[in-house]
Amino acid sequence: MANSMELKYGCNPNQKPARVFMTEGGLPFTVLNGKPGYINLLDALNGWQLVQELREATGLPAAASFKHVSPAGAAVAVPLSETLQKAYCAQGGELSPMATAYIRARGADRMSSYGDFVALSDECDKETASFLKHEVSDGIIAPSYSEEALSILKSKRKGTYLVLQMDRDYKPEALERKQVFGVTFEQQRNDVKITPDCLTDIPTGNKEIPESARRDLLLALITLKYTQSNSVCYAKDGQAIGIGAGQQSRVHCVRLAGSKADIWYLRQSPQVLSLPFREDVRRPDRDNAIDVYVGPEYMDLLGGDNWKAVFTEKPPVFTGEEKRQWLSTMTDVALGSDAFFPFGDNIERAHKSGVKYVAQAGGSIRDDNVIATCDKYGIAMAMTHIRLFHH
C-alpha cells in the first residue's frame, strides 16, 4: 500500500497543495473507484470508526451516513417494519442485514443525508449497493465488496463514485496529532469503550432500562463519540432518529435534534404515507416536499399551484393539531448526550419527543434538578461519567 496520496485540494479549492500520508507504513485504505477528496476522507475515517464500534457493542452489522464530519444517521441491522420501508423508499425486494442497517442510517434524516459518505461495518452486498444506486451519495467505505456490489457502485455518478476498501486489521497509533495555525496539537486517541457498564449508575426513581433501550443508548453514545460537539442523539429501534451537532448551547442542540426526531416520526404518519406523489418525482424532491409538508410553512411554499410539481392532486393541510396528536404517540425514545445536561430544560424538551431513557455524563452542579425533571416524567436516566467531546 502507498503511504501518501495527493488530493485535488483541501477543505476548499484554494487550499492547495493537499495530501494524506502516513509517517510509517502504508495508508490503511485502498481506492477501488473514483478520486477521494479531503472532506471525503475525514468522513470516511470517522464513519469507519463509528460503525466498527457499533458492530462490536451490539454484534449487529452497522452503518453510518456522514456529512461534513458528523453523522446524519447511524444504525444497526434491526428489521424494518412495512411503515418504515415505505417511509425510507425501500419497498420491494430482499433486504440483507447490511442493507437494512444502511437504509435505517439514511432514513434518520434524509435531507441531511443528501450527498452523504457511507460507512459499513461489514461487506457491501448487492442489496446494499442496489439501494445506494438510487441515492445521491459521494462515496462509501467498507471492509470488502461483493463482485455484484462493486459493479453497481462503479456505475454511479457516471463512473466517478468513490469506493474505498478499509483494512479491517488496521490499528492506529495511540497518540494523534493535528495542526492549527501552525501549532501542533497532540493527545491520546479517544479509545474509551462504550459498553453496558456505562449504564449501571441510575440515580432516577425509575431504574428500569430494557435491553432494547440499552442497545439504543449505546448506539446514541457511540454515534456522539464521532459527532462534532456539543451533540445529542435521539435513538429508537436500533437507529438514530435525530442528531444535533456543533451547537454552542446544549439545549439548542436538544431542540435541533428533537425537531429532527419529530420529522422522522411525522414521515410515518398516515397523512404523509398517503401523499399522492407523481411517479416522475425523484427521491430528493420527495424528501424536500415531505419536509415542507410537515413544516409550518406548507401553505407558503406549496400553496397556489406549486403542489403540481410533485403531487397528482393537492393534498389536504396537515394541521398543527393533527401533528400534535400524532407526535403524542411517539414513545420509548432514548437520548444520549456527549456531556452533562446543565439544566432540566433539556429533559423538558426531550420529553416532548417521547424520550423515556437518557444517558449522559453527569457531573453538573445542577444534577439534582436534572434528576428531578426526569422523575417528573418517569424517565430513567443513567450517568455514564464519560465525556465524549469530539472536535
Q: What does the pLDDT look like over 97-143, one tens digit per residue?
A: 999 999 999 999 999 999 999 999 999 999 999 999 999 999 999 99
Angle at CA of residue 229, ends 224 and 235, nearest 5°: 30
pLDDT interval class at 96 (50, 70, 90)? very high
> Looking at the domain assignment, is residue 137 inside a domain?
yes
Q: Please give the average per-residue pLDDT across 357-383, as a whole number.
A: 97
Evaluate if residue 299 carries a pLDDT over 70.
no
One domain, residues 60 and 124: yes
pLDDT interval class at 92 (50, 70, 90)? confident
One domain, residues 121 and 254: no
68 assigned to active site? yes
> Looking at the domain assignment, is residue 91 inside a domain?
yes
> Looking at the domain assignment, is residue 389 inside a domain?
no
Euclidean distance between CA atoms 327 and 261, whole angstroms: 10
In total, the chain counts a number of residues equal to: 391
Q: Distances in Å between the alpha carbon of 304 and those of 8, 260, 368?
A: 45, 27, 52
Q: Please give the average per-residue pLDDT across 252-265, as a whole number.
A: 96
Evaluate if residue 306 carries a pLDDT over 90.
no
One domain, residues 122 and 236: no
pLDDT of residue 187: 97
One domain, residues 241 and 150: no
The mean pLDDT value of the chain amounts to 95
Q: Distances in Å between the alpha carbon of 13 and those of 23, 41, 178, 260?
A: 25, 16, 21, 32
Lowest mean pLDDT among 41-55, 81-95, 173-187, 203-217: 81-95
Lowest mean pLDDT among 28-32, 93-97, 150-154, 256-260: 93-97
pLDDT of residue 302: 65
Tell me the helix, strand and coil percentages in the chain, rounded to 5: 35, 20, 40
Query: Bridge-partner residues for 145, per DSSP?
Result: 124
Nearest alpha-carbon partner for 214 in 235, 229, 186, 190: 235
One domain, residues 158 and 236: no
One domain, residues 188 and 285: no
> Looking at the domain assignment, is residue 390 inside a domain?
no
pLDDT of residue 304: 74
One domain, residues 335 and 242: yes
| Structural domain total, the chain | 3
Residues 6 or more apart from 10 whose CB is under 8 A from it? 16, 18, 38
The C-alpha cell that represents 385 in the structure block: 461519567
The C-alpha cell that represents 114 in the structure block: 443528501
Q: Distances in Å between the alpha carbon of 33 and those of 47, 49, 151?
A: 18, 21, 10
> Looking at the domain assignment, is residue 332 inside a domain?
yes
Q: Which residue has the cell 484554494?
A: 14
206 assigned to active site? no
One domain, residues 144 and 281: no
134 assigned to active site? no
Name the catalytic one among 33, 46, 67, 356.
67
Q: What is the CATH number of the domain that holds 200?
A: 3.40.140.20
Evaluate if residue 308 carries a pLDDT over 70.
yes
Q: Please give the average per-residue pLDDT across 15-40, as a whole number.
A: 95
One domain, residues 115 and 136: yes
Q: Does the predicted model carry a pTM greater than 0.75?
A: yes
67 assigned to active site? yes
pLDDT of residue 303: 66
Q: What percentage of the chain has pLDDT greater than the value 70? A: 98
Evaluate if residue 26 carries a pLDDT over 90.
yes
One domain, residues 16 and 88: yes
Name the catalytic one among 33, 40, 230, 346.
230
Evaluate if residue 301 carries a pLDDT over 90.
no
Q: Please give the average per-residue pLDDT across 26-31, as a whole number.
A: 96
> Looking at the domain assignment, is residue 388 inside a domain?
no
> Looking at the domain assignment, is residue 179 inside a domain?
no
Q: Please give the average per-residue pLDDT across 150-176, as a whole number.
A: 96
Residues 6 or more apart from 368 whose CB is under 8 A from it? none
One domain, residues 70 and 188: no
Evaluate if residue 2 carries a pLDDT over 90.
no
One domain, residues 72 and 156: yes
Q: Distances in Å between the alpha carbon of 253 and those of 230, 232, 332?
A: 7, 6, 20
Range of the domain at 292: 270-317
CB 34 within 8 A of CB 160: yes
Tell me: the pLDDT tens digits for 194-242? 999 999 999 999 999 999 999 999 999 999 999 999 999 999 999 999 9
pLDDT of residue 305: 81
> Looking at the domain assignment, is residue 101 inside a domain?
yes
pLDDT interval class at 300 (50, 70, 90)? low
Euclidean distance between CA atoms 380 and 21, whole angstroms: 46
pLDDT of residue 330: 97
